[in-house]
Amino acid sequence: MKKPAISSIAITSLLLSLAAHAGESEETLIQQVTDAYGGDALRNLTSYSISRKSLVLGNGQSRTPQLDDPAIADLYLAVDIKNGKARSDNLFGGRGGIFQGATITDGKQGWAINYAANTYGSAQNADVYAFAGGTMRTSDAILAYELHKARDKAKITGDTDHLNRPHVMVEMPFPLSPTLTLYIDKKTHFISKMTRMNPQVGQLDYIFSSVTETDGVMYAKQVGFYVAGDANLFGLENTNRFNIDIPESEFSLPEGIEEESARIDTTEMKANRLSDNVYHVGQGNGFTLFVNSPDGLIAAGGYPGLQDRLILFRSESGNYKPLKYQVVTHHHTDHLGGINEAIDLGATLITVEYNVEAIRDAVANSGDADFLTIEERVTFGEGRNRVEIYDVATIHAKHFLVTYVPSQKLVFIADHLNSPYETGIPTASLNTTTMYEALLALDLDIKKIAIAHGARVFTMKEMQASVDAYSPQVCMADRPVCK
């Protein structure tokens, strides 16, 4: 018997029905989630605060590759949704000392506060999702609130199991972030887990547990954060408040603070010619020193974007020699972000044997790499145009490679000295003081210091003045992160 034909109109009607049903499923689920977290108290949220003390493991940022150094990271976020105001305070305490800062927006303009220098300047981005989005994503209640806001764009992607409990997975957009995937408990409708992809390090996992109630809203007291499967952060104390009165003073600059001096504009890539054979090239937070040595072109500074920096170096210098050597300053993963590019360019990686395994683990194409491992030092070329690489130890890294260019009396370092300002003495930390001691011990004729995290080239006298002025930073006692 001939099967009856199904008209295109019927198929279209069926697809529309399924689509409508899917939309209803998301709508129903999101309603259940927001009801579980407090109903209208959450959906009509006018303000909130997050105060958290956390233990952080130094994944890829420890002094040695074998041990993840623990540190304390405290944060405080206050957001006045109704009036578009926000304040984010951060305190980090690790082997390099205490680092405290804040970003504020009053709804019209934004400021960044440097407590160590007692200065303020314009915030790089006054959008609260830019300077506090990371903190927001560590609160399951705020994720539920953002899910409600994005309910027309959220999408159920399937069912899964989490801790032997059935969950439904929902994808949702989040401002200035890759798509988030929420794992929602089918019984309680609480968010047990959230994942997002980071293009550099891979999957990030946020784990929520021990849900409690305050101000009529539920939230997880326990928060865990994992980077590419490795434990990174554990919340020790976590307090969220909702629909509260936040003092207007929270969104104002503190008394006695001074406006910072002029910053160096690094929004566009620039090449600083130090000599015919030496260029300092970079943009934003990533700079590389290129040196045309008698033994070939050498680069130091491995932040992502290495090939782009090499292109500008070639354009500015007229030197189109292949990159022969790439100095891997140390094992920290952010400084390995461009090493894959160096390998693709055919460069030999200069490092110490102690760090080879960490480099292989962090760099996807490291199997194609050639390594030159050094002990204490290596020299390329002879006479005035030679280049010397020294292995030194600081509190920041047990093995750190310093590049020295005798013709310019110049060294290149990373993470130990920095300032975004055109002039002035940079603020020192223990990183600075221990690197200064290491440089003095080398007994070299050093006049200039180029860095990986900025365009400014410092003098050795400026580094000495920075070290002489060093005193451990004390947390500002009136701030929640200091209590």
Question: Where are the domains positioned within the chain?
Answer: 24-259, 270-468
Q: Is the pLDDT of residue 343 over 90?
A: yes
Determine the Cα–Cα distance for residues 259 and 240; give it in Å rounded to an integer. 32
Q: Model confidence at 66, in pLDDT bands (50, 70, 90)? A: confident
pLDDT at residue 20, as a whole number: 39
pLDDT at residue 6, as a whole number: 45
> What is residue 414's DSSP assignment?
S
Mean pLDDT value across the chain: 93
Q: Model confidence at 477, in pLDDT bands (50, 70, 90)? A: low
Residues 6+ apart with CB under 8 A from 483: 477
Which one is predicted more confidently, 132 or 69?
132
**Rounded to 5°, angle at Cα 179 from 174 and 185:** 90
Determine the Cα–Cα distance for residues 107 and 149; give it in Å rounded to an integer. 20
Tell whether the torsion through CA atoms of 340, 345, 346 and 349 is positive or negative: negative
Locate 423 and state its tokens: 């002039």
> What is residue 345's DSSP assignment?
T
24-259 maps to CATH 2.50.20.10: yes
For the chain, the straight-line distance linking the first and the last C-alpha, in angstroms and rounded, comes to 82
Answer for the pair 431, 440: CB distance below 8 angstroms, yes or no. no
pLDDT at residue 61, as a whole number: 87
Mean pLDDT of 429-454: 97
Answer for the pair 391, 397: CB distance below 8 angstroms, yes or no. no
Q: Report the CATH superfamily, name and number, of domain 270-468.
A: Ribonuclease Z/Hydroxyacylglutathione hydrolase-like (3.60.15.10)
Locate 49 and state its tokens: 């605060």
What does residue 110 show for φ and ψ, rounded to 5 degrees? -130, 150
Determine the Cα–Cα distance for residues 135 and 183; give it in Å rounded to an integer. 19
Mean pLDDT of 200-208: 91
Q: Percent of the chain, pLDDT > 90? A: 82
Quick one: which of 221, 226, 194 has its CA closest to 210? 221
Amino acid in position 358: A
Tokens 């082997």 label which residue? 95
Cα dist from 325 to 113, 304, 328, 350, whole Å: 39, 16, 9, 7
Strands 286-293 and 278-283: antiparallel
Quick one: which of 469, 395, 400, 481 has its CA closest to 434? 395
Could you read off the pLDDT of 391-412 as tens digits, one per residue?
Answer: 999 999 999 999 999 999 999 9
Answer for the pair 180, 157: CB distance below 8 angstroms, yes or no. no
What does residue 54 show for φ and ψ, rounded to 5 degrees? -130, 150
Could you read off the pLDDT of 6-63 as tens digits, one per residue?
Answer: 444 444 444 444 443 345 699 999 999 999 999 999 999 999 999 999 999 877 889 9
